[in-house]
Structure 1
Amino acid sequence: MQRTERLFALAEYLRGRRTGVTAEVLAERFSVTVRTIYRDLDALRAAALPVGAERGRGGGYALDRGYSLPPVNFTAREAALVVALGRFAIGMRLLPFTGTLESALDKVRSALSTSAQRELLDRLRELTFLGVPSLPTRKPVREALERAWFERQPLRITYVDGNFLETVREVRIESVVMDRHETRLDAVDLASGERRHFRLDRITRAEVVGA
């Protein structure tokens, strides 16, 4: 990667995070030395980008929160990979947030010119993914999960365990674990305080608490 290209990529990376990141992490991300990262950060400041250093937990280098760069322009190559990976995640049923993902992919496509969209379609025809999809999940369950996850709200689920026993629980999602054959919620049962995994395909009903 040439230095000019790296500087632009560094600015985009900082813009995308907006939280502090250390020089060591940046050096690893761009496969350069920490000293080189310091020089690159100085170059960005000299170009009038408001790069500052934050102290404390989550600190590091970050762009000023009030600063914005022009909209990101995808090349057909970049868009093809983003769309292909998104389609793979949907097709394999790994990522439960399909509504948000499909909306994002539509925006990536719409941002391309007509010729770039044609090239995108050509590239996608040449990409094939093989694998065993995760077990299916009901659409209303995915939609409720998506809302609870992004809005950080409790979720009331009807769950069927391995002994076919059905229970209703209110949980707080801590993380989503995506395996090759199943997707699991790492969640805290709000009644017992117990933390456990819930297989997504075993959730028959779900609703955001208070919705």
Structure 2
Amino acid sequence: MQRTERLFALAEYLRGRRTGVTAEALAERFGVTIRTIYRDLDALRAAAMPVAAERGRGGGYALDRSYSLPPVNFTAREAALLVALGRFAIDMRLLPFTDTLQSALDKVRSALSTSAQRDLLVRLSELSFSGVPAIPSKKEVRAALERAWFEHQPLRIIYVDGNHVQTTREIRIQSILMDRHETRIDAIDAASGERRHFRLDRIAHAEVVRVVPP
């Protein structure tokens, strides 16, 4: 990686984190010596980028939090990979949040210049994935799940188990697990306090339980 390319990548990396990262971690990330990282950070400062050293836990080098950066500029190569992988995730039903993902992919496309968008279409026609789609799930269930997960709220579900027994449960989502065939919700059952998995395709209904902070 040439120095100019590395400086740009370093600036993008700091922009993406906006939290402290040590010089040692940066040196490992970019495959250079710590001394080289110090020189690169000095070069960014000389270019009027407000890189500062933060002390304490979570400290390191970071951009000033008040600094406003211009929009990210994707190359056609970067956008093609993001759009292709996102499209694959939607087609294979890997992610339950398909509407949000599609909106994000549209924004990636819109960030490209006209010529880069044309190049993107060519690259996409040459890049494809195949796999076994995950089991379908209800759109309204996916929407409730997405809201509960991102907003850290409980979720009330009507769940149908393998014996076709239907129960109503209130759960707190811990994580979401995906494989080729099914999406599973790793959650804590409020009634029992137990941590267990719920298959997304077996959730017949879901609604967010709004918790008002004290």
The answer to whether TM tops 0.5 is yes
Superposition map of 1:39-188 within 5 A = 39-188=39-188
Matched, 1:199 2:199: yes
Residue 105 (structure 1) shift? 0.7
Matched, 1:24 2:24: yes
2-structure distance, mates of 1:93, 1:47: 44
SS in 2 for 1:128: coil
- Which amino acid in structure 2 is aligned with residue 203 of structure 1? I
Instruction: Mark the runs of 5 or more structure 1 residues left unpaired by the alignment.
Output: none
Matched-pair contact (CA < 8 Å) for 1:15–1:68: no
Deviations 1:60-115 (A, max 9, x none): 32211111222111121111111111101111111111121111111111222222
Cα distance 1:58–1:103, how it changes in 2: closer, same or farther (>3 A)? Answer: same
- Which amino acid in structure 2 is aligned with residue 168 of structure 1? T
Cα distance 1:197–1:39, how it changes in 2: closer, same or farther (>3 A)? Answer: farther
Instruction: Mark the runs of 5 or more structure 2 residues left unpaired by the alignment.
Output: none
SS in 2 for 1:39: helix
CA RMSD of aligned residues (A): 1.9
Q: Which moved more, 1:123-132 or 1:31-40?
A: 31-40
Residue 144 (structure 1) shift? 0.7
* Large movers: runs of 4+ above 6 Å: none
Cα distance 1:95–1:24, how it changes in 2: closer, same or farther (>3 A)? Answer: farther
